[in-house]
Amino acid sequence: MRRKKIILLPVVLITASAAVIWGYSTLLSFAEGLPSTESLARYRPDVTTKIYDRNGVLIDELFWERRALVPLNQIPVDLQNAVLAIEDTNFFNHWGMDMGGVVRAFIRNIREGHIVQGGSTITQQLAKVMFLTPERTITRKIRELILAIHIEREYSKQEILQFYLNQIYFGEGAYGVEAAARVYFNKSVNELNLAESALLAGLPRAPNNYSPQKNIIRAYRRRSVVLRRMRDLGFITEEEEIRANSHRLPVRTYARETRPGSYFVEHIRRKLLPRFGAQKLYRGGLRIHTTLDMNMQIAAEKSIEAHLSSFDERKKREILKEKMEEKDIEDPDKIEISTSTFQEVQGTLVSIDPRSGHIRAMVGGRDFEKSEFNRATQARRQSGSAFKPFIFTAAIDEGYTPASILKDEPRVYYNDGRRWCLLENTTDYANLGISFDLIDEFEEEDEEDNDEEREETEEEKELRKRVQALERLKNRLWAPRNYYPTSRGEITLRTTLVNSINRSTVDLLDQIRPVTAKFYARKMGIRSRMPQSLSLALGSGELIPLEITAAYGVYANDGIRTEPYSITRVEDYAGNTIIENRTREKQVLSPQTNFIMVNLLKQACEYGTGIHTRRLNRPHGGKTGTTDNFSDAWFAGFTPNLVTTVWVGYDDRSSLGEGQAGGVLAAPIWTTYKQRALAHTPVIDFPVPDDIIFVNFDPDTGKLASEFAENSILQPFIRGTEPREYF
């Protein structure tokens, strides 16, 4: 018997050793390739990128996983206890693995025939979400346990709990307790009460099942389970449990509602995405400091919406009236206007500080959720008369003065294949545009008479010849027209700009040549392509609101162009500055030329097409713009400290309606916005540079006038260019 024992002992020892070696090697194989838990010390959970306005006001956030990082001492004890009670009761007593929990999970898994419960501790859950895949396999479970033991060995319980509470998913896109508090209760985590803490603690096990957004009854039941467990463990009293269970939760879902500045935020995102990439932009916790002023932005959006909503209502009434007349119905309640087919008018507003180039407000449309297309930075539209100041600037710099005489008379231009040339003796073509209508009229009459065979009269023969001649010329002739069908003959440059006279503007452009006007527009900030033809006088070039605003900023800044920009600096998560932008400026006009233009544009607002802006009651200048068929309405204007452009139109370029010009639609929006935006800023005027002289001047003749003359105005001139003769 003793002999058998002696023989069996080595066998047992060898077997046990082999088992230990096998187990150890197996564990080594499971541990092979596992990440180092030391990375937790350097680990920073993905956090949202925050975008701030110029005053540090949070505008918006960029994220894939909505998350914020908070230290454990800012997380309520009730929330910590609630999570421990429902997720890991023995957290402070185990070494990464709870044997009791494992046994319970093992028994249930045997019953079910597959893994349905893991018995995981908080440390194991942290290991899984930080380093492993969510698959339910034995291999993954063993690797999870090994990592949990390493984590427990290298970090304190408090550190592990902090990692967990900032990492775990709570549903509705919220990662971590701070994001969850914001999503469900619209408050910071340190403001949560016991009832709210218990509800959040119950979510990580199955967020979709227990989310109050999915099933409020199930959420309340889950909260009750958490509270009962907290009472059983002595974390709360029975009275506290009863009070918390009776607490009605003001639950809300975080939604990506349209916030003020949505178009601006998208503008920022587009600028930074190519530089940083999506990973860093959405997960890097960047702090983006911008030039936006939220007070001005809100004023801009309210001004746009108020005026354009009113316009839409007028349009609906017009449509309703037309339908009632068509169907001979007197009761308007019997007529319906389809909201799906009714097209809302669109508008945009860009506002820049001319001294710094900071974009203070940007409205790219009426509703970012309906259309993300930013009309302030992406839309190219014909500018109409809003382009004219660049032509007049070029002329002043070339030696013209407000007293220079231009011709407002009918004229016809002929395209020789290279350029538009003024035809000689064009007085007979005064109504050439109307004459072109004869082509259609004649063809209609011809169709009516084509069944009748008769000899044409001499008058009809002459008309046919005229129509045939017009047909040949139609696409090669151009006769510019004024907004009002009148001709003033010889008028001053000042009158031409103030009253936006088309024909005399074309005359001026013909004299200085389109290439000169393009050169000045380009150096003032226009980057879009412009036609090198006389149609430039009527704003035929398609421009972007942002670039028009920047170019008008030259007038407000003593002839200095500043490049517009939207980001002042970008900081990384640690607060290190990684991008910093500064003002870039260049003198592009002499102070004297610039002041003459400022004065002319001030008069355009005081006496001319921008007269609606007079109610601003502070020094300002600007110019309206209206395109053919009333498809676009503009007003671009400036005060010494803020330059702003407003555009109104339909995306499909349909007509706004007869008479809906820039002075009617855009100027009122501009004025309302400026009143709100500048409400708390001092009233200042534009400085007068050296070598400027003021003389009393007759705006009709361009000659000197007595200060007591009825039509006399005080007009600035560059010294030496003032009129010498009296009217």
Q: Just list the catalytic residues.
A: 87, 385
Judged on CB neighbours under 10 Å (0-12, 13-18, 19+), 430 is middle
Strand partners, 577: 571
Contact 165, 177 (CB under 8 A): yes
Q: How many CA atoms lie less than 13 Å away from 630 in the CB half-sphere?
A: 14
Tokens, residue 699: 């705006």
Tokens, residue 506: 């074309």
Strand partners, 428: none
Q: How far apart are CA 46 and CA 280, in angstroms?
A: 9
The DSSP annotation for 538-583 comes to GT-SEE-HHHHHHHHHHHHTTTEEE--BSEEEEE-TTS-EEEE---
Q: How far apart are CA 502 and CA 500, in angstroms?
A: 6
Q: How far is CA 584 from CA 156, 390, 644, in A?
A: 52, 21, 19
DSSP for residue 455: P
Q: How far apart are CA 502 and CA 521, in angstroms?
A: 18
The DSSP annotation for 483-520 comes to SSS---EEEEHHHHHHTT-HHHHHHHHHHH-HHHHHHH
Tokens, residue 577: 């500055």
Query: Length of the chain, please?
Result: 727
Task: Determine the distance from the C-alpha atom of residue 172 to the mean position of all C-alpha atoms in its chain, rounded to a whole number.
Answer: 26
Judged on CB neighbours under 10 Å (0-12, 13-18, 19+), 42 is exposed
- In the chain, the amino acid numbered 181 is A
First to last CA, the chain: 144
Please name the residue that has the structure tokens 């003001």. Answer: 250
Tokens, residue 308: 């354009």
Q: How far apart are CA 297 and CA 426, in angstroms?
A: 51
Strands 405-408 and 489-492, by their bridges, are antiparallel
- In the chain, the amino acid numbered 716 is P
Judged on CB neighbours under 10 Å (0-12, 13-18, 19+), 473 is middle
DSSP for residue 168: S
**Closest-CA residue to 386 (of 508, 534, 591, 544):** 544
DSSP for residue 402: T
